[in-house]
């Protein structure tokens, strides 16, 4: 049902790379006008070049630079997006950061940095967009979470906790705005072949170990025998935004190849 998304408008955070960039490409391919939001202006312009943006107001992707940890900056960028591209139909909370390390020895600064983006940033953007959607009684929001939100991960306590908080926030928001015809869902990826994952692994051997499993850190392998592609996650996001999912809300769709055994 790709045609149902044509001429809609979406805001995607964390758009400059990884899953966020894949979501931007997927939505553009479905005829959506996309506001690509990230704090990395150089990477955003590279994304537009890769997608064939022509620099005018009719292109499928328009870039906006903003730091989602700043509530005022978020309000400004959402206002700018709607003034330039029109009312938002979709929001994808794709921005995320990862800091790894055991809790004993983990710094307060790293903890705060993870929550500032993964949880508070989701709150800032969702609040700003939902306020506008409520007035129009229309919209769909998807937050990119993690399978770590429901399954403990060694050395990932801050990330897991932040994603669990973001998931519950998104579902609670969905409960509040359902009466206005707005749907809120979560896509929870597992190990996905992105720069974020690469930063945790030791090259190809690390990828193989992730697929095989690492009992020393109590981590199962991936039953499907492969890492997810960013595109796999992006397609799940697009489905939950689309009219094909018009009766789905407060749902968490896990995209991890079976790594958490359906948890």
* CA atoms of 199 and 202, how far apart (whole Å): 8
CA distances from 81 to 12, 34, 175 (A): 11, 9, 26
* CA atoms of 207 and 210, how far apart (whole Å): 5
Burial 104-134 (b: 16+ CB within 10 A, else e): eebeeeebebbbbbbbbbbbbbbebbbebbb
What residues are labeled active site? Answer: 159
């Amino acid at each position: 049902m790709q045609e149902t998304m044509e001429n809609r408008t979406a805001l995607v955070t964390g758009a400059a790379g990884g899953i966020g960039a894949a979501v931007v490409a997927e939505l553009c391919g479905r005829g959506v006008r996309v506001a690509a939001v990230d704090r990395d202006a150089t990477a955003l312009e590279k994304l537009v070049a890769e997608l064939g943006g022509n620099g005018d107001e009719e292109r499928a992707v328009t870039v906006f630079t903003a730091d989602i940890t700043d509530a005022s900056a978020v309000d400004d960028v959402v206002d700018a997006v709607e003034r330039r591209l029109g009312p938002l139909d979709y929001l994808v909370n794709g921005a995320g950061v990862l800091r790894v390390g055991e809790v004993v020895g983990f710094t307060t600064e790293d903890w705060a940095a993870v929550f500032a983006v993964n949880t508070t940033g989701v709150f800032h953007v969702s609040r700003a967009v939902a306020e506008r959607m409520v007035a129009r009684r229309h919209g769909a929001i998807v937050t990119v979470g993690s399978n770590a939100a429901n399954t403990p991960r060694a050395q990932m306590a801050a990330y897991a906790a932040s994603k669990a908080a973001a998931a519950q926030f998104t579902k609670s928001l969905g409960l509040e705005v359902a009466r206005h015809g707005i749907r809120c869902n979560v896509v929870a990826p597992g190990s996905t072949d992105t720069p974020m994952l690469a930063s945790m692994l030791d090259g190809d051997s690390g990828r193989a170990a992730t697929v095989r499993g690492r009992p020393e850190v109590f981590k199962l392998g991936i039953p499907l025998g492969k890492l997810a592609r960013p595109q796999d996650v992006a397609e799940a996001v697009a489905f939950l935004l689309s009219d094909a999912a018009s009766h789905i809300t407060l749902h968490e769709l896990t995209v991890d190849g079976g790594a958490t055994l359906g948890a």
